[in-house]
A = this chain, B = another copy of it.
Amino acid sequence: MIGRRSVSLAIVAAPLVAASTAFAQSDPLPSWTDSAPKRAILDFVARTRTTGSADFVAVPERIAVFDNDGTLWSEQPIYFQFAFAIDRVKALAPQHPEWKEREPFMSVLAGDMAGLAATGETGLLEIVAATHAGMTTEDFTKAVEDWLETARHPRFKRPYTELVYQPMLELMALLRAHQFKTFIVSGGGIEFMRPWTEKVYGIPPEQVVGSSGVVKFELRDGKPVLVKEPKVEFVDDGPGKPVGINRFIGRRPVFAFGNSDGDQQMLEYIAGGAGLRFMGIVHHTDAEREFAYDRQSHVGRLDKALDEGTRRKWTIVDMKSDWKTIYPFDRR
């Protein structure tokens, strides 16, 4: 494990390096337009680091949390973890001949997304259970790593881990340079994210908070392993996000970025703390370079949180005008 992880870290660290190179220049946020969000970020960092200032934040309290899907990487046309699950259904299908005649698997195998959608949340949960459970946590990690090596995004034809937002890599690097500890707080599966967040974002597994399934300790041939069970344990979304933050981090962060209604309670929770706080929302407005969606979207709907954020003057990033660059591979 150790050797393997170290090697892959060296190979896939490109986005991270990109962020630190950017930071070595005088402008720590070169991919951000010089508009209100960038100024708000720089102002927050300057004020919280000044000893003696009323807005000073002691180093141990410098906790910044980021949603993942739609905030750090793209989430269209479907959540990337769901693309993984669909590919796994296809890969596992030969061992499950009964799937050809059973929903939701039938629709997945036929590429019938409307049929799949018709199976509703029950169908989705069944797919996650069938593709994410029954194996050890280590085998699951390997399945994720293998998938990321071969899978390509349908529109951009690139590995999913290249579809991360360059401006957010710069923002996380800036925060870390000022001794903020950066965490992911995502509705996505914790075990799906941890194999790659360190390489791609510089966020180690122990700083990833997410949804999880039940895991059981077992001795298999005398070897201690953890086996994933087909049972949801915790949904780290909506009101679950402040709960997840409390459970995993144990103190109220001072900085948060999200992009959908699933982040609303997290943003409210951060806003409810005493002292200077930063609440940011990524608004997907760029159909040309990325995707444009908000109030009507099934994936990453941004409706109530957009109203609340506007009313309370949270920082709302208009991707089209506030970000010069979207993906690291876009940079000129």
Q: Select one of B58, B181, B183, B247 contacting A5, CB under 8 A.
A: B58
Contact A1 B273 (CB under 8 A): yes
Q: How far is the CA of A217 from the CA of B262 in the complex (A)?
A: 14
Q: How far is the CA of A183 from the CA of B212 in the complex (A)?
A: 21
Q: How far is the CA of A243 from the CA of B205 in the complex (A)?
A: 15
A272 lies within 8 A of chain B by Cβ: yes
A151 lies within 8 A of chain B by Cβ: no
Residues of B contacting A246 with CB < 8 Å?
A: 137, 215, 226
A180 lies within 8 A of chain B by Cβ: no
A134 lies within 8 A of chain B by Cβ: no
Q: Select one of B60, B61, B181, B216 contacting A243, CB under 8 A.
A: B216
Q: Select one of B198, B204, B239, B250 contacting A194, CB under 8 A.
A: B250
Residues of B contacting A206 with CB < 8 Å?
A: 63, 181, 183, 206-207, 248-251
Give the distance to chain B from A233, nearest Cβ to Cβ, in Å. Answer: 8
Contact B217 A265 (CB under 8 A): yes
Q: How far is the CA of A273 from the CA of B223 in the complex (A)?
A: 9
Contact A60 B190 (CB under 8 A): no
**A interface, how many residues as a size bin?**
35 or more
Contact B6 A265 (CB under 8 A): no
Q: Which residue of B lies closest to A183 (CB)?
A: B206
Which A residues between 1 and 19 are near B, CB-CB below 8 angstroms? 1-2, 5-6, 9
Q: Which residue of B lies closest to A208 (CB)?
A: B250
Contact A243 B217 (CB under 8 A): yes
With A2-B274, A181-B206, A224-B242 given, is the CB distance from A190 to B247 under 8 Å? Answer: yes
Residues of B contacting A205 with CB < 8 Å?
A: 249-251
Please encode chain A, from 244 to 261, with 1 for each CB lying within 8 Å of some chain B CB and 0 for all others. Answer: 001111111000000000
Which A residues between 169 and 223 are near B, CB-CB below 8 angstroms? 181, 183, 190-191, 194, 198, 204-208, 212, 215-217, 219, 223
Q: How far is the CA of A265 from the CA of B226 in the complex (A)?
A: 11
Contact B215 A243 (CB under 8 A): yes
Q: How far is the CA of A207 from the CA of B60 in the complex (A)?
A: 12
Q: How far is the CA of A250 from the CA of B197 in the complex (A)?
A: 12
9 closest Cβ pairs, A-B complex: A205-B250, A217-B239, A224-B272, A194-B250, A217-B242, A224-B269, A224-B268, A206-B249, A6-B58
